[in-house]
């Protein structure tokens, strides 16, 4: 018995305590007819704000899988992938709930993967307020890692894809298994997994015509400013929810650079901590804040 078109594609949305954001994402999909066209799975990792109840009430066609709060992004994505493949899915869409695919974008990624069985297709995210690129992919040359973005009408190949909006064929799972949450529980699980697929012969492509609106909510952290002590900044390295979590960072550099990446990570970690400590102890707080403001102003002028 052949599966329906809806069963062949599943959209997987990991969420945690962002009910209004999650509902806005689902409403955007609903307005495009996506909820009836494809399978949609929300993995609710222990939300306490009524997310699951609200989804069941407003969008009963959406499947909600429950977590206990310890899945984080990678574990939630894996849980959704396992469910979807168990239902017969041939294509899996990773979608963050603060990411809003524009009309036709999801279909574009699916079609690109259907045309070439060795493609993992990523959409290009744009900041909804500025229309500037937010999330796309990365390329790695030696110890230099650069974020890249595809302009409209272009296609870029990269070494790792941001997981905000990506289409992954089931055959990738058959080749390399599921994302390993123990390596990168939250951050970098997307880049590490897609890079592992690239090493198995898959092409990672960003399609500039597959647009999603997604604000970059992880701007670079300046070591110049803020009220935090070196201890506070160091403790970030031991928090799973931090983009600086040591385990994810270490596995990220190891995956992208090999054995050199481990040494580079340790060197970078110690150097940054030394600089942070010196700056915070030697430069008065008001001067640090002023320096931070000047640096932000410089970045804004360069962008414009």
Pair 158, 204: CB distance under 8 Å: yes
pTM: 0.85
Evaluate the CA torsion angle 102, 108, 6, 189 in order and state its sign. negative
Q: Within 10 A of 112 (CB to CB), how many other CB atoms are there? A: 19
Express as a percent the part of the chain with pLDDT over 90. 67
CA angle 86, 87, 93 (to 5 degrees): 90
Pair 260, 140: CB distance under 8 Å: no
For the cut 80, the answer to whether the pLDDT of residue 166 exceeds it is yes
The CATH architecture of the domain made up of 5-213 is: Alpha-Beta Complex (3.90)
pLDDT number for residue 287: 66
pLDDT number for residue 304: 44
Q: How far is CA 201 from CA 102, 154, 161, 195, 204, in A?
A: 29, 22, 15, 10, 10
Q: Within 10 A of 194 (CB to CB), how many other CB atoms are there? A: 27
Confidence of residue 49 (pLDDT cuts 50, 70, 90): very high
Query: What is the C-alpha separation between 9 and 141, in angstroms, rounded?
Result: 34
User: Mean pLDDT across the stretch 92-118?
Assistant: 96
In whole angstroms, what separates CA 246 from the centre of its chain?
A: 18
Domain coordinates in residue numbering, the chain: 5-213, 230-303
Q: Would you give the DSSP letter of residue 169?
A: E
pLDDT number for residue 246: 85
Confidence of residue 223 (pLDDT cuts 50, 70, 90): very low
Q: Which two tokens stand for residue 224?
A: 């110049």
Pair 41, 95: CB distance under 8 Å: no
Contacts (Cβ under 8 Å, ≥6 apart) of 69:
16, 45, 46
Confidence of residue 113 (pLDDT cuts 50, 70, 90): very high
pLDDT number for residue 280: 62
226-243: pLDDT as tens digits: 555 666 777 777 888 888
62-74: pLDDT as tens digits: 999 999 999 999 9
Pair 202, 157: CB distance under 8 Å: no
Per-residue burial over 211-231, b if 16 or more Cβ lie within 10 Å, else e, is bbbbebeeeeeebbbeeeebe
Contacts (Cβ under 8 Å, ≥6 apart) of 146:
138, 139, 140
250-304: pLDDT as tens digits: 899 999 888 888 887 787 777 777 766 666 666 666 666 666 666 556 555 444 4
pLDDT number for residue 225: 47
Q: How are the residues of the chain apportioned to helix, strand and coil, as percentages rounded to the nearest 5? A: 45, 20, 35
Q: Where are the alpha helices (DSSP H) in 49-188?
A: 51-58, 72-86, 105-115, 170-176
């Amino acid at each position: 018995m052949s599966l329906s078109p809806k069963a062949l594609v599943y959209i997987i949305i990991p969420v945690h305590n962002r009910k209004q954001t999650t509902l806005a994402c689902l409403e955007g999909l609903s307005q495009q007819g996506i909820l009836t066209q494809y399978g949609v799975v929300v993995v609710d990792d222990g939300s306490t704000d009524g997310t699951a109840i609200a989804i069941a009430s407003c969008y009963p066609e959406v499947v909600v899988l429950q977590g206990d709060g310890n899945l984080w992004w990678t574990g939630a994505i894996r849980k959704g992938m396992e469910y979807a493949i168990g239902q017969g899915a041939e294509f899996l869409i990773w979608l963050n709930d603060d990411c809003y695919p524009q009309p036709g974008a999801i279909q574009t990624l699916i079609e690109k993967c259907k045309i070439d069985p060795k493609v993992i297709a990523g959409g290009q995210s744009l900041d909804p307020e500025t229309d500037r690129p937010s999330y796309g992919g990365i390329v790695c040359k030696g110890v230099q890692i650069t974020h890249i973005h595809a302009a409209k009408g272009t296609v870029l190949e990269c070494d790792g894809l941001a997981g905000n909006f990506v289409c992954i064929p089931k055959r990738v799972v058959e080749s390399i298994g599921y994302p390993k949450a123990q390596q990168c529980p939250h951050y970098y699980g997307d880049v590490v997994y897609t890079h592992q697929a690239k090493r198995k012969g898959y092409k990672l492509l960003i399609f500039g015509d597959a647009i999603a609106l997604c604000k970059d909510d992880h701007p670079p952290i300046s070591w110049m400013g803020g009220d935090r002590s070196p201890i506070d900044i160091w403790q970030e390295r031991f928090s799973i929810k931090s983009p600086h979590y040591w385990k994810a960072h270490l596995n990220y550099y190891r995956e992208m650079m090999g054995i050199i990446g481990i040494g580079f990570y340790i060197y970078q970690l110690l150097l940054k901590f030394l600089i942070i400590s010196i700056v915070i102890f030697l430069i008065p707080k008001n001067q640090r804040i002023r320096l931070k403001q000047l640096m932000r102003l410089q970045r804004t002028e360069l962008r414009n």
